[in-house]
């Protein structure tokens, strides 16, 4: 395999999680009777451009199908994050009714609805019908396409180049990152701004966040690698922000390379921090497997201990990261009774691989489990606040990542 960006031969394995089904491929009851397809879940690091990436195995349209089950609006904290961003960027760029905003991977309209409310023209680019339908129902216009050079060229030819192109947690999801980035350049007006948010590779390594690895994430990104990809496409990162979302993310601000906007000192400072941390040191990547194995082994041992003690265990949040953790650890229905999730699109289905049933959150009060594993650990505070009832019967909340911890 060659690097998706610079085409260097890939030889260095960063993480090998065996074989697993796609993390968002939730199963109906009928589908449990059929064979389940799994794919290798292995990451390589390119020792030339330092892009971390999954092993090639399948096409994006097999992962992001019409019935894609992830809806951004399920999380209240994420909705608040999006609303704050729209307010801040509108002021920063002076956006108005004469501006035009494109969001790539607009999902269910969770973010663009704020631009619609403000009277700022916008367009979502979203390939999955399930989320695009939800978006259009709340008045957000959607182009049902995968984004890249072809889509961007069609938009530009129609006079729809953007003052702002934003994309939250999409950059890691694109199999052809060069084509996607060239598309950003083509669809961006002169003087326009690109904002991309993505989980920071440095935080993934630092906090043992191996469960954020799944097939839908083709790339694991640092400012170092992103800046190189941007530069090749005729773009430049001129500002960067650190965010607490998804266990630690970056929001980069990009522009055309010819833009007179000065590159801020914080960009150079982040380059230096990444280098000091070791993101250009192969040994840092080669040590990560044993850290992931410790998290997995500790979690599995904990669940077995609870089973032997006669405790009932449930989980909350049928998140992709939870599927990665459970499939790597080989956890099945015998160790976790059920999983609750607020998204109707996931309820009454089964987790891929583990086949644990997904039920509405109301089941917690009915069944009163002794322990509730919070699989989306990045929103643990939100879950505990919403499900305080668990404490009333003596139940406790647990997270497994970045390390096993009983929270309450």
CA distance 286 to 347: 39
Report the interhelical angle of 265-277 vs 223-232 (nearest 10°): 120
Position 72 scores a pLDDT of: 65
Q: What is the per-residue pLDDT for 56?
A: 73
Question: Going from the N-terminus, what domains does the chain have, and what CATH number goes with each?
Answer: 12-56 (no CATH), 72-285 (3.40.50.150), 290-406 (3.40.50.720)
CA distance 221 to 200: 6
**Residue that is written with structure tokens 């009774």 in the block:** 337
Token match 């999730």: residue? Answer: 341
**Is the separation of the CB atoms in 322 and 383 below 8 Å?**
no
* Closest residue by Cα to residue 3 from 225, 237, 288: 225
Q: How far apart are CA 374 and CA 90, in angstroms?
A: 35
> In order along the chain (408 residues), what is the average pLDDT of each group of 10 residues?
96 96 91 92 97 76 49 78 96 98 95 97 94 93 96 97 96 95 98 97 96 92 98 98 92 97 98 98 97 96 97 96 95 97 93 97 97 95 95 97 91
Residues 216, 197: Cα–Cα separation, whole Å: 16
Evaluate whether 234 touches 256 at the Cβ level (below 8 Å): yes
Closest CA to 395 of 404, 403, 384: 384
**pLDDT for the residue 60:** 47
């Amino acid at each position: 395999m060659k690097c998706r960006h610079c085409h260097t031969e890939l030889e260095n394995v960063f993480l090998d999680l065996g074989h697993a089904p796609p993390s968002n491929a939730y199963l109906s009851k009928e589908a449990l009777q059929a064979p389940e397809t799994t794919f290798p879940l292995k990451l390589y690091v390119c020792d030339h451009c330092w892009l971390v990436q999954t092993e090639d195995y399948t096409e994006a349209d097999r992962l992001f199908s019409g019935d894609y089950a992830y809806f951004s609006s399920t999380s209240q904290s994420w909705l608040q994050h999006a609303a704050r961003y729209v307010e801040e960027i509108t002021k920063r760029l002076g956006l108005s009714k004469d501006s035009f905003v494109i969001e790539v991977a607009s999902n269910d309209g969770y973010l663009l609805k704020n631009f619609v409310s403000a009277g700022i023209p916008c367009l979502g680019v979203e390939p999955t019908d399930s989320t695009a339908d939800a978006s259009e129902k709340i008045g957000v216009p959607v182009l049902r396409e995968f984004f890249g050079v072809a889509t961007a060229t069609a938009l530009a030819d129609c006079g729809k180049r953007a003052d702002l192109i934003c994309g939250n947690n999409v950059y890691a999801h694109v199999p052809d990152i060069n084509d996607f980035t060239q598309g950003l350049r083509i669809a961006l007006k002169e003087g326009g701004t690109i904002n991309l948010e993505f989980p920071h590779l440095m935080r993934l390594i630092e906090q043992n966040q191996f469960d954020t690895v799944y097939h839908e994430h083709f790339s694991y990104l640092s400012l170092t690698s992103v800046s190189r990809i941007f530069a090749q496409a005729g773009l430049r990162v001129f500002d960067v922000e650190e965010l607490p979302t998804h266990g630690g993310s970056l929001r980069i601000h990009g522009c055309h390379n010819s833009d007179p906007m000065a590159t801020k000192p914080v960009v150079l400072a982040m380059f230096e921090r990444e280098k000091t941390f070791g993101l250009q040191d192969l040994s840092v990547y080669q040590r990560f497997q044993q850290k992931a194995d410790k998290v997995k082994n500790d979690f599995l041992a904990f669940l077995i201990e609870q089973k032997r003690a006669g405790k009932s265990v449930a989980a909350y949040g049928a998140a992709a990261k939870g599927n990665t953790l459970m499939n790597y650890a080989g956890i099945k229905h015998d160790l976790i009774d059920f999983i609750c999730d607020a998204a109707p699109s996931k309820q009454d289905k089964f987790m891929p691989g583990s086949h644990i049933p997904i039920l509405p959150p109301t089941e917690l009060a009915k069944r009163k489990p002794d322990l509730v594993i919070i699989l989306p650990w990045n929103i643990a505070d939100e879950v505990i606040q919403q499900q305080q009832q668990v404490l009333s019967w003596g139940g406790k909340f647990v997270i497994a990542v970045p390390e096993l911890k009983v929270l309450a």
